[in-house]
A and B are shown apart, each in its own frame.
Chain A
Amino acid sequence: MTELFAFLLTGLTVGFVYALVGMGFTVIYNASGIINFAQGEFVMAGGMIMVFLLAGGIPYLPAYLLAIGLTALLGVLLWKLTDLSRDSSQESLIILTLGYAIFLRGAAEVVFDKELHTLPPLLGEGHLTILGATLSYQALLVMAASVLIVAGLWFFFRRTRTGKAMIAVSLDPDAARLMGISLKKIWVLSFSLAAAIASVGGILLTPITSTNYEVGIMLGLKGFAAAITGGLSNPFGAVAGGLILGIMEALVAGYLSSEYKDAVAFVIMLLILFFRPGGLFSHRGVQRV
């Protein structure tokens, strides 16, 4: 029993990591219908910028805010680049984001370095022991941040004009424009918001996993799998998807074999794509929040 509980806790820890990355996908998808494959690289950028700001002698809190701000700015820059593209079909824009991912990895290699880095945990190295299983303080922070962000997103999409405008744009860009919504503003906002969320994740994850220029590849993929599982248009879905993946992985690693663990995320993603393309929580057909 303790064993099962311990595996569940491990799964939750990993699951919230995936959830945090997955939420970024939903924000951009909600606004533009684009799947941003550079999302993992935003996570990487957040962590790496933070590492180098701290190394440059900037105190923790300003560095934290600056890292989030700079990553958000990076999101804006990427959007500006996307905006230059003559061919604005969704397919070509999605491929463009793949290019950004490769570019950002290369740029990080040059601007920063190829080494692994870590950050001191925000609340120290300690951990909680619950029923014989352990949970580090940093993992608790990741969970808290995910919950806060998803609540914030819910509020944003449901209760604010801008958030509603974003949804409107995703449902029907032309109609939204006729209603006086500036598509460009909405898209810029979605890119910077997604980048900012990713950077929060990147900074919180670094003390647990450490970071380097290519850490975004696998995080991006797992986050994508989480978002697909829960439904690309639904930040809650991404959290649920992340948790499902994390717990499944931990159970498979614990009871079957760790060899099959990585396959789990992608098998679940494929099954979802086959049988419920809108995600676990979708109604018939694809519907956004």
Chain B
Amino acid sequence: MKSMLLKMLAIVALFWSGSVLAEEPIRIGALVSATGPASFIGDPELKTLRHYVEKINDTGGVAGRKLELIAYDTGANPKKAVTFAKRLLYKDKVAAIIGPSTTGETMAVIPLIQKSKIPMLSMAGGVPIIDPVKKWVFKIVATDRMACQKIMEHMKAHQISKIAMLSGSGGFGKSMRKQCKMVAKDMGIDILADETYGKKDTDMSAQLLKIKNTPGVQAVLNPGFGQGPAIVTKNFKQLGLKMPLYESHGVASKKYIEIAGDAAEGVYVVSPPVVVAAKLPDTNPVKKVCLAYKNEYEKTFHTPVASFGGHAYDSLYAIADAVKRKGTSPAAIRDGLESLHNFVGIDGVVNMSPTDHLGLDTKSGLVMLQIKNGDWKLAE
């Protein structure tokens, strides 16, 4: 009896010492809006993070150490994001943070991140996150400014210089509207009409009629996401407008084509490359990683790939890359992120520098698509 107890104690001790001897995992925090109004963004992000952390650990981890993911659901609420960021920083003691998913939340946690000197890779689109540059804050997500540039480059190439804008009045539409107006000024494109609609509006005919009756308009640009752009597209067709309609990356999913139906034919959509992974030209450097991610995501979760999950993938692998090159301390990871060079992610080829914490360009980071026969086609 006594010897049995001793044996058990010995076994317990053995296990215990074993766990002490093995190196601790690298703790990575994540703030994602897995539920709530931005759940369509946070849900694929969380799925991606969980899946690929497991995958990295199954193949030996990073620099010989496993990763431990500590993820919190913020529900897209900036207050909650701050609370959970504090928990990640002071209680969980993570080495780096991925997220939050939305611009509002990211801006709310930035002061905390800067103070506690832990690197953060936001998954949100807003320009103010990385402009001006903040020492500990990075992101590998195309900004709305880049989307505007891509769209307007396309317009210019097609001799379009006078446009109308019809923007959603949610955060996304508002921010992109502002950026597009700035880009339009730089590129010499005149905005002849500048209309908006509410997030939950059921009909945008009045605004489109106004645009229709504005002389000289050559194209319409519609920044927004959710059901708004689909209704705009339907009304656009119903009113018999013949000019090109440009949609933002906010609707770059099959759902938009499904909801807008026939009215979506011929519409231009600017999109992250992963949406059309298989159709990218072989010369596009991100094709391989996009295709691999898309296939694996769709096989694992049985839902069509969303561009948002790609942000999570890029952030995770960027941290892994930084750890391999510089080390595991927060300061080392930060240095590693700032020196990312020709890192090929899903959202594009990344080259960070002390003056650029975004590191993406419009060439590899975004593609212009046109809807033909209910499917995406690379636009000419």
Interface positions of A (Cβ within 8 A of B) = 3, 6-7, 9-11, 13-14, 17, 109, 114-118, 125, 127, 134, 136, 205, 208-210, 212, 214-215, 217-219, 249-251, 253-254, 257-259, 261-262
Q: A17-B203, A258-B197 are in contact. List 19 more A-B contacts (CB 8 A).
A: A3-B209, A13-B203, A17-B202, A114-B39, A116-B226, A116-B227, A116-B255, A125-B261, A127-B238, A205-B202, A208-B231, A208-B234, A209-B203, A210-B227, A217-B200, A218-B198, A218-B200, A261-B198, A262-B198
Contact B255 A250 (CB under 8 A): no
Q: Does B64 contact A (CB under 8 A)?
A: no
Q: Does B353 contact A (CB under 8 A)?
A: no
* Complex-state Cα separation, A208 to B195, whole angstroms: 21
Interface size, chain B (Cβ < 8 Å): 35
Contact A118 B206 (CB under 8 A): no
Looking across the interface, which residue of chain B has its beta carbon closest to that of A255? B210
Q: Which of B37, B199, B205 contacts A10 (CB 8 A)?
A: B205
Q: How far is the CB of A111 from chain B (nearest CB, A)?
A: 14
- Which residues of chain B in 119-163 are interfacial with respect to chain A, using CB atoms and an 8 Å cutoff? none
Asked, given contacts A116-B259, A134-B238, A134-B239, whether A210 binds B205 with beta carbons under 8 Å apart, the answer is no
Contact A259 B196 (CB under 8 A): yes
* Complex-state Cα separation, A249 to B262, whole angstroms: 28
Q: Does B213 contact A (CB under 8 A)?
A: yes
* Complex-state Cα separation, A117 to B258, whole angstroms: 8
A-B contact pairs, 6 of them (CB 8 A): A114-B40, A116-B226, A205-B202, A208-B234, A218-B198, A257-B196
* Complex-state Cα separation, A205 to B202, whole angstroms: 9
Asked, given contacts A114-B39, A116-B255, whether A208 binds B206 with beta carbons under 8 Å apart, the answer is no
- Which residues of chain B in 206-222 are interfacial with respect to chain A, using CB atoms and an 8 Å cutoff? 206-207, 209-210, 213
Contacts of A209 in B (CB 8 A): 202-203, 227, 231
Contact A258 B195 (CB under 8 A): yes
Query: Beta-carbon contacts of B30-65 to A below 8 Å, as 1s and 0s?
Result: 000001010110010000000000000000000000
* Complex-state Cα separation, A17 to B202, whole angstroms: 9
* Complex-state Cα separation, A205 to B240, whole angstroms: 22
Contact B198 A208 (CB under 8 A): no
Contacts of B40 in A (CB 8 A): 114-115
Q: How far is the CB of A124 from chain B (nearest CB, A)?
A: 10
Asked, given contacts A218-B199, A254-B210, A258-B196, whether A210 binds B43 with beta carbons under 8 Å apart, the answer is no
Contacts of B198 in A (CB 8 A): 218, 261-262
Contacts of B169 in A (CB 8 A): 259, 262
Q: Does B230 contact A (CB under 8 A)?
A: yes
Contacts of B39 in A (CB 8 A): 109, 114
* Complex-state Cα separation, A245 to B198, whole angstroms: 15
- Which residues of chain B in 278-293 are interfacial with respect to chain A, using CB atoms and an 8 Å cutoff? none
Q: Which of A7, A115, A214, A219 contacts B206 (CB 8 A)?
A: A7
Contacts of B207 in A (CB 8 A): 253-254, 258
Asked, given contacts A118-B259, A258-B196, whether A6 binds B37 with beta carbons under 8 Å apart, the answer is no
Contacts of A215 in B (CB 8 A): 200, 227
Asked, given contacts A109-B35, A258-B197, A259-B196, whether A118 binds B205 with beta carbons under 8 Å apart, the answer is no
Q: How far is the CB of B339 from chain A (nearest CB, A)?
A: 38
* Complex-state Cα separation, A132 to B206, whole angstroms: 13
Asked, given contacts A208-B202, A215-B200, whether A7 binds B209 with beta carbons under 8 Å apart, the answer is yes
Q: How far is the CB of A182 from chain B (nearest CB, A)?
A: 39
Looking across the interface, which residue of chain A has its beta carbon closest to that of B210? A254
Contact A210 B261 (CB under 8 A): no
Contact A250 B206 (CB under 8 A): yes
Q: Which of A14, A114, A209, A214 has the most CB of B within 10 A?
A: A209
Q: Which of A9, A10, A114 contacts B43 (CB 8 A)?
A: A114
Q: How far is the CB of B315 from chain A (nearest CB, A)?
A: 22
Asked, given contacts A125-B262, A218-B198, A258-B197, whether A13 binds B205 with beta carbons under 8 Å apart, the answer is yes
Contact A10 B230 (CB under 8 A): no
Contact A6 B205 (CB under 8 A): yes
Q: Which of A13, A219, A251, A253 contacts B200 (CB 8 A)?
A: A219
* Complex-state Cα separation, A117 to B261, whole angstroms: 12
Q: How far is the CB of B221 from chain A (nearest CB, A)?
A: 15
Q: How far is the CB of B178 from chain A (nearest CB, A)?
A: 14
Q: How far is the CB of B235 from chain A (nearest CB, A)?
A: 9
Query: Beta-carbon contacts of B242-262 to A below 8 Å, as 1s and 0s?
Result: 000000000000010011011
Looking across the interface, which residue of chain A has its beta carbon closest to that of B203? A14
Contacts of A117 in B (CB 8 A): 259
Asked, given contacts A6-B209, A134-B238, A210-B231, whether A115 binds B203 with beta carbons under 8 Å apart, the answer is no
Contacts of A9 in B (CB 8 A): 205
Query: Beta-carbon contacts of B174-211 to A below 8 Å, as 1s and 0s?
Result: 00000000000000000000011111111101110110
Q: How far is the CB of A23 from chain B (nearest CB, A)?
A: 16
Contacts of B200 in A (CB 8 A): 215, 217-219
Contacts of B203 in A (CB 8 A): 10, 13-14, 17, 208-209
Q: How far is the CB of A193 from chain B (nearest CB, A)?
A: 24
Contacts of B35 in A (CB 8 A): 109
Q: Which of B39, B197, B205, B210 has the most CB of A within 10 A?
A: B205
* Complex-state Cα separation, A218 to B202, whole angstroms: 10
Looking across the interface, which residue of chain B has its beta carbon closest to that of A249? B206
Q: How far is the CB of B101 from chain A (nearest CB, A)?
A: 14
Contacts of A217 in B (CB 8 A): 200
* Complex-state Cα separation, A205 to B201, whole angstroms: 12
Contacts of A6 in B (CB 8 A): 205-206, 209
Q: Which of B196, B209, B258 contacts A254 (CB 8 A)?
A: B209
Contact B255 A115 (CB under 8 A): yes
Contacts of A14 in B (CB 8 A): 202-203
Q: Which of B206, B207, B258 has the most CB of A within 10 A?
A: B206
Looking across the interface, which residue of chain A has its beta carbon closest to that of B40? A114
Q: How far is the CB of A38 from chain B (nearest CB, A)?
A: 17
